Amino acid sequence: MTTVAAIIEAATAHLMTECPPNPFTDEELELFHSEGWDIFEASGSIQNENGDRDFQLQRLDEEAILADDVEAWRLVWKRAGEGSEPHQKALDFLMDHSMAEYVAILEECQPH
């Protein structure tokens, strides 16, 4: 018989291996929030129905600085292209941990 403590320990170990550590500094997160966006763990979202978009770059709905998630994507893409290290770091995080989200941003933001 498995104890509750053993179940909790196993679940915690699983979560620790599934979710990468937060790579962003407090200053970077403050910048992202001041611009109206963040990267969210979104394993339960409809866009993650195939299990390949665990993390998503989204606007902060409560701030209403940006019109929608696509505007957030464009902002981050533009700032990264201008040489902003925090914005490039955000895109790199998505490339490493949520490739389908990165590809969606790439397809939306690259000139056609």
**Each residue's pLDDT tens digit, 38-95:** 999 987 777 767 777 889 999 999 989 999 999 999 999 999 999 999 999 999 999 9
Rg (CA), the chain: 16
Question: Which segment of 7-11, 54-58, 65-69, 106-110 scores lowest on mean pLDDT?
Answer: 7-11
> Where is 41: in which H helix or E strand?
strand 37-41
Note the pTM of the prediction, 2 decimals.
0.78
What does the angle CA 79 – CA 85 – CA 88 come to, to the nearest 5 degrees? 65
